[in-house]
Amino acid sequence: MVATTFLLLLVQGLLQYPQQAGDGLDEAVLGCMEQRAEWFGLKKIRCNPDNSGQESSNSNLVEEKEGNNVVARKEVGRNNGNVEEDYHQKVKSNLGSVSDELIVFPVENLDKGCSMIIDPVDKLTEIFCQGLSDSFYLVPQEAIGVGSVFEGWGPRACDAVYCVLVPLSPPPGHAFHLELDTAGMAQRSFCVRVELLCTCMRKQLGKDMLCFLHHPEEELRRKQESCLLHTLCTGSYLDVEKTVQWFCRFVRVAWLFLPESCHWHLMLQPSSRSCKFQLSKDKESCMAEMVFGVRQGNSDIFVGSQPSQVGMASTVWLETYAMAEAKFFRHISRQAPLNSWHCKNLQLLAAAKTGVAFYSYALKTVVMHLLSTVPLIQWRRKDLGWWLMDTLKYLHCSLKTKQLDHFVIGNERFPMEISLPSDLRLAEPLNLFRHLASNPNAHVKATQEYIHLLHRLKKLLIHGP
């Protein structure tokens, strides 16, 4: 057992809540939780997202500031008795004592996995482009690694899912037009309308291609492959499920032509809106997910095939910020000092989290907000304890106020070097917790998951991963 007082102090001194008896928390129970929060000092935290978790949870902890930048924390005054004095002494002496074994998950296997996924995916797209160069199917581009593993805060290799975004371009004689369709959707969504273009000039330039618009349909059927509208579309719109099924069938066959197939076994997993597969060899295995996307103009924002709510139409593509967020983490890594532990903070919290999928994204969003407002020099190992507490405080305040702004949409601090559509950069910030305000049951569940996170974090640090 690794002895660490940090989390015990965190839970007992700042964020302690009672264990849950079930899912039926009512107003009385929530009121009791609020009273316990006041008792343990949570009311001293200013619940303001712009505060970015920088205000100390204890009135005897202050910050020295120079301009708008936090320079250092220091302890002043200890007038609340021996218990509080002992608390501060233990915090001071144990902030950097969290074991490497618990929070620095080995990266060698993750790096190996990233290469093992990206390389064959690129080979598959190359085979695809060569084999179907004369057809009018979609044209896949070079794969882009996205998600936690490629951003530097992924879980242990055995638990990792290597997610890659495969951009899709229209074939010759076709064009894509994105049409915003947000009816009934919490997230911005689009339909990809496929338009046929006149290619009569191509014949004059010596290219043997009939025009889908101006040649007779009978001649087109006899001499040329079907247009994209007749293969992977529903009506005039690109169909997500047809695209995924078509690509999965191609992967199953094309894999046999790769050198990797001699040593690795590929098994496709059921999925209607992404291509999931497992690679295995002896006792080694890894899980990968290919998500397909259409780029919005020349920006780093795509509309993607990633899964969402049940019952979503197969012609709906969700706006995805995965590439822009991956670029943000690379942007931070280039600026951060060598001893920066910003990813370790998020890695540990993600390892401890439980509950629904949005929770990981909420943790990631909180950390990204902190990274954009706090000098990177302060994300050092010795400050890890502070940043764990600050991240949890920020999340707690966001849950309490039911307000957590999306990091990309409408964020004035988002790096200009990462290309966004103009309407996205100037849009009103999207509240990721807006559903909590209208759905009390969802708010109760989110609060419970936050409490479970605290207990899981304590267990993880004490007993190990």
Residues in a beta bridge with 28: none
Residue 398 and residue 290 share a domain: no
The one-letter code for the residue type at 36 is: R
Domain with residue 158: its CATH number is 3.30.460.90
Residue 158 and residue 19 share a domain: no
Q: Is residue 266 part of a domain?
A: yes
Residue 185 and residue 140 share a domain: yes
Q: Is residue 87 part of a domain?
A: yes
CA distance 266 to 52: 44
Strand duo 189-196 + 316-320: pairing: antiparallel
Residue 168 and residue 75 share a domain: no
Instruction: Quote the number of domains for the chain.
Output: 2
Residue 237 and residue 205 share a domain: yes
Residue 313 and residue 165 share a domain: yes
| pLDDT at position 164 | 94
Q: Is residue 103 part of a domain?
A: no
This prediction has a pTM of 0.77
Question: Domain end: 290, 320, 350, which one?
Answer: 320
CA distance 393 to 373: 15
pLDDT tens track of the chain, all 465 residues?
Answer: 333 444 444 444 333 444 433 334 444 444 444 443 334 333 333 344 444 433 333 333 333 333 333 333 333 333 444 543 443 344 344 434 444 444 545 454 566 668 778 888 999 888 888 777 667 889 999 999 999 889 888 776 667 889 999 999 998 888 999 998 865 556 789 999 999 888 776 654 445 677 776 566 766 665 666 778 888 999 999 999 999 999 999 899 899 989 989 989 999 999 999 999 999 988 888 899 999 999 999 999 999 998 766 778 999 999 999 999 999 999 998 888 877 778 888 888 887 776 654 578 899 999 999 999 888 887 877 777 778 888 888 998 999 999 999 999 999 889 999 999 988 888 888 899 998 989 999 999 888 888 888 877 777 666 555
CA distance 263 to 241: 30
Q: Is residue 14 part of a domain?
A: yes
Q: Classify burial at 134, counting beta carbons within 10 Å of its beta carbon; exposed 0-12, middle 13-18, buried 19 or more.
A: exposed
Q: Classify burial at 65, counting beta carbons within 10 Å of its beta carbon; exposed 0-12, middle 13-18, buried 19 or more.
A: exposed
Say if residues 414 and 424 touch (Cβ distance below 8 Å): no
| pLDDT at position 155 | 72
Say if residues 238 and 315 touch (Cβ distance below 8 Å): yes
Residue 128 and residue 232 share a domain: yes
CA distance 322 to 192: 19
Look up residue 58 and give its DSSP letter. Answer: S
Q: Find all residues with CB under 8 Å of 230, minimum gap 6, and list them.
A: none
Q: Containing domain of residue 407, as a range?
A: 5-94+336-463
Question: Domain end: 320, 348, 368, which one?
Answer: 320
Look up residue 380 and give its DSSP letter. Answer: B
Residue 262 and residue 120 share a domain: yes
Residue 374 and residue 302 share a domain: no
Residue 245 and residue 200 share a domain: yes
Q: Find all residues with CB under 8 Å of 411, minimum gap 6, and list them.
A: 372, 405, 425, 429
Residue 120 and residue 178 share a domain: yes
The one-letter code for the residue type at 369 is: H
Locate all alpha helices (DSSP H) within 164-319, ordered by sequence: 200-204, 217-223, 240-254
The one-letter code for the residue type at 32 is: C
User: Residue 194 to residues 65, 228, 229, 384: CA-CA distances in angstroms?
Assistant: 55, 8, 7, 50
